[in-house]
Structure 1
Amino acid sequence: MTRLKSLLLEKIQEHRPRIQKLTKEFADVVIDQVTISQTIGGARDIHSLVTDISYLDPQEGIRFRGKNIPETFAALPKAAGGEYPTVEAFWFFLLTGDIPTQAETDEVLADFQSRAKVPPYVFEVLRAMPKDSHPMAMLSTAVLAMQKDSIFASKYHETKKNDYWDTMYEDASNLVARLPEIAAFIYRLKYKNGDIIAPKPGLDMGANFAHMMGIAKPYDDVARMYFILHSDHESGNVSAHATHLVASALSDAFYSFSAGLNGLAGPLHGLANQEVLDWIMGFQKKLNGAEPTEENVKQALWDTLNSGHVIPGYGHAVLRRTDPRYTAQMEFCLKHLPNDPLFKLVNTIYKVAPGVLTEQGKTKNPWPNVDAQSGVIQWYYGLKEYDFYTVLFGVGRALGVLANITWDRALGYPLERPKSVTTAMLEEWAAKGGRK
């Protein structure tokens, strides 16, 4: 057993009594109230999910295991010659809450490489798909195709409930290790005439992904940063919740994560980064080659709003400040591509848009989210097929959601089954001023 898996077992055994005490001794303690608007409006802000892996504060932003983004980047072991931590170190951290040593990080790297070989039938399935398939459909299909090799599913009937986490961990680790090659294969198959680049043993996940994509340094650091920033955003977002929901039926990691990817592919979730870059490219054309200034960008933003359209990449369901993931990517751009025309435009929009949106008064959060920045970096490094960007999001999101469902099985969380009400019931309670 690897150090990560043995440490994870220790953490699970320490954590189980906490959940048992809460459910047995404090089951009836009320922690929230539900309004009609929340019932109709997508269960927004209802406190009904549990995760210790990340938490999203409206003002502070995301915290991974209690650490914000700068603290996470500073604490974890970095890749040799790189500016950012390895994905392997981050995986150890998400699962345990502990900062791994270099030796523990190297052990995860070796473990991933022992798991990373993608079954040949996956590539056959991808080659058989229509050439105009969306890359997210291809990624979800590839994940689902591997379900036949699920260890969790094959050992389900012989595994005790307290040990479900073990086989879920195995499936989750296999998936995380294989996803970079699958994603790079989809890219090279679809956009580079099938000129596939084989993985290179010995490289960490970020460096190997950059190698298989055929993109030179510092894209290895871009990959590390991107996968970590997009890994998790607590459990209420669509991809995380869908993965958790399907796994609560004791579906394996392949079924569950494929469902999460299908949710991520929606334009109100992961597909938004594709939508944002498309809008920015159109915005750039409207400037007719003029250097972006606060004046001409402000006018163009008002033109967008007055025509009945929104400013994509601005606003967030939870955050009420600039998304720290946006800030982290902006800092990368300021260091590595400060004079890139597309970045200069995005940065000018950032300076102007919050004031315009505040003046318009129709948004609760006039600040940018992660999608407002992420596509610019990919474009700069030559990845200009922006319908592929959500695949990158999906590879990163796997880290958080698969860590979460491993812990879901470790703590024995039950089948998720909310109770529905009818419109007539809501109208009755509305007339009475509440449910009596």
Structure 2
Amino acid sequence: MNNISMTNEELDQYYERSAQIIGRESYYSPDLYTKYNVKRGLRNEDGTGVVVGLTEIGDVQAYTVEDGKIIPQEGRLIYRGIDVYDLVEACMKEDRLGFEECAYLLLFGELPNQQELDEFKRVLACHRCLPDGFVRDIIMKAPSANIMNKMASTILVAYSYDPNPEDTSVKNLFRQSMEIIARMPLIAAYAYQAKSHYHNGNSLFIHMPDPGLSTAENILRLIRPDCSYTKLEASTLDIALILHAEHGGGNNSTFTSHVVASTGTDIYSCIAAALGSLKGPKHGGANLKVIEMMNEIKREVKNWDNDSEICDYLAKILKKGAYDQSGLIYGIGHAVYTLSDPRCVLLKKKAKELAEATGRVDEYKLYEKVEHLAPIVFNEVKKTNKRMCANVDFYSGFVYDMLNIPTDLFTPIFAVARVVGLCAHIIEERINGGKIIRPAYKYVREMSEYVPLHMRK
């Protein structure tokens, strides 16, 4: 061990050899899942989720059970007993922004009156700032190529700026929640500006938030060089935030927050872990994958009005011959929804409105065609009769693109909204949990004898 240095080529070769060994030794037959009745992905054989907890915060409804059979129904998303359709449609009818009202509902469990809502907004406004030097010392230094990683690390560092970070009383958790919810738009925007400048070579713009503005308005203000935005842009982003704020306790990132919170740790650790989950392309990162996939379809399909040509390319994607060779049509299908995803239905309306306002109706029609044709092609290629619908990610990326929001911010905006639901669930876990979440994994490797080092080949 006198010479411990290795060239980059030697290190890469070592990693390659190691990966082959690990892959070989770690593989086991998928048949074992059936043999041991493993609820893979915490899902039952009929596709329903394994019930592992209770919640009063949010509910995802997509089917009924009659005589032991699952009957699909139009999807519904419920926030504290209130249908999300009612929340969004009230905001549109009354021509007002509603994300803060939605946040109040999820945290408190009931809708606020005007005085309560005004007070809630004032508290958020008080916290819509970062500690002195935080942007310079924490966000601008070591900017990340992926903003979600920077947001997670920044949330962890915020622990060090909290005078009482370990207190998990409801009062302190609520205080921390309000601070995190108020600051998330700033963290996302400044992390984007740092990445855009240091990684992409663009000009650096650091604007101060306006405490009098809503969350949606501040996001648009902070990410644009001239701080400008239209009423339609603000209202559309506000609706997107409402639709992403909560999705029941079983979605991956929220369940992650429950798992981590069940250990009794601090809220910053819980949120950071959930953000790591949300980043994944099978979860919150799917909206970026959708728009990348659709951009490829726009390039490769010559006639957007030709259903047959679109179907051929979708089949090519499913057969791992196009886009990222994953075999996935991103934005189509959902773990729970089958007939419709209410978030997608509502965002689709705004997508059409924006497309008409921005002269992108042809693109919108292509999205509609893919939404309609993808389930048909999937069942033909996979030889199934699975019921599928477009999920929220299918139109959200298109909507953000029409809002001139950089693709780097697609998933971070999801996180800005979802942190409300995460905080509500962390508090709920603190109040009702009590037991550390600890499922079991079945050990399936045979025993082997220990061989002394000098006898190993």
1:47 paired residue number: 51
Counterpart residue identity of residue 170, structure 1: R
Counterpart residue identity of residue 203, structure 2: N
1:297 paired residue number: 310
Q: List per-residue Cα deviations over 1:201-248 (Å, max 9, x = no partner).
A: 311222222221225122211221121111111111221011111111
CA contact (8 A) 1:112 1:177 kept: yes
Pick closer, same or farther for the CA change 1:166–1:350 going to 2, 3 Å.
same
Q: List per-residue Cα deviations over 1:122-148 (Å, max 9, x = no partner).
A: 312221114x52111111111111012
CA contact (8 A) 2:216 2:238 kept: yes
Q: List per-residue Cα deviations over 1:302-323 (Å, max 9, x = no partner).
A: 3333445221111111221221
Distance 1:305 1:349 in 2: 13
Counterpart residue identity of residue 274, structure 1: L
1:282 paired residue number: 296
Which runs of 5 or more residues in structure 1 are unaligned?
1-33, 157-163, 426-436
Q: List per-residue Cα deviations over 1:27-78 (Å, max 9, x = no partner).
A: xxxxxxx986763512121111221111112232321112222112245xx4
SS of 2:334's equivalent? coil
1:170 paired residue number: 175
2:402 to 380, 392, 406: 380
Query: Where do 1:22-41 residues align within 5 Å?
Result: 39-41=38-40
Pick closer, same or farther for the CA change 1:298–1:146 going to 2, 3 Å.
same
1:400 paired residue number: 421
2:355 paired residue number: 337
Q: Does 1:181 align with 2:186?
A: yes
Shifted more, 353-362 versus 142-151: the winner is 353-362
CA contact (8 A) 1:64 1:72 kept: no
Shifted more, 120-129 versus 326-335: the winner is 120-129
Pick closer, same or farther for the CA change 1:365–1:234 going to 2, 3 Å.
same
* TM-score (normalizing by structure 2): 0.77
Cα deviation, residue 400, structure 1: 0.6
Pick closer, same or farther for the CA change 1:99–1:37 going to 2, 3 Å.
farther
Counterpart residue identity of residue 67, structure 1: I
1:328 to 346, 353, 369: 346
Q: Does 1:104 align with 2:116?
A: yes
Cα deviation, residue 199, structure 1: 0.7
Distance 1:344 1:304 in 2: 20
CA contact (8 A) 2:354 2:399 kept: no
CA contact (8 A) 2:167 2:266 kept: no
Number of aligned residue pairs = 379
Which runs of 5 or more residues in structure 2 are unaligned?
1-32, 44-48, 63-72, 197-201, 322-326, 447-457
Q: Does 1:136 align with 2:135?
A: no
Counterpart residue identity of residue 337, structure 1: A
SS of 2:391's equivalent? coil
Q: Does 1:228 align with 2:242?
A: yes
2:264 to 224, 230, 250: 250
Distance 2:239 2:275 in 1: 20
Shifted more, 244-253 versus 190-199: the winner is 190-199
Pick closer, same or farther for the CA change 1:74–1:305 going to 2, 3 Å.
closer
CA contact (8 A) 1:115 1:174 kept: yes
Cα deviation, residue 98, structure 1: 1.7
Q: Does 1:268 align with 2:273?
A: no
Counterpart residue identity of residue 413, structure 1: G
Counterpart residue identity of residue 188, structure 2: A
Sequence identity percentage: 25
When the two chains are superposed, the root-mean-square deviation of aligned CA atoms in Å is 2.5
Shifted more, 327-336 versus 116-125: the winner is 116-125
* TM-score (normalizing by structure 1): 0.80
Distance 2:149 2:385 in 1: 32
Cα deviation, residue 294, structure 1: 2.9
Q: Does 1:210 align with 2:216?
A: no
Whose helix fraction is larger, Structure 1's or Structure 2's? 1
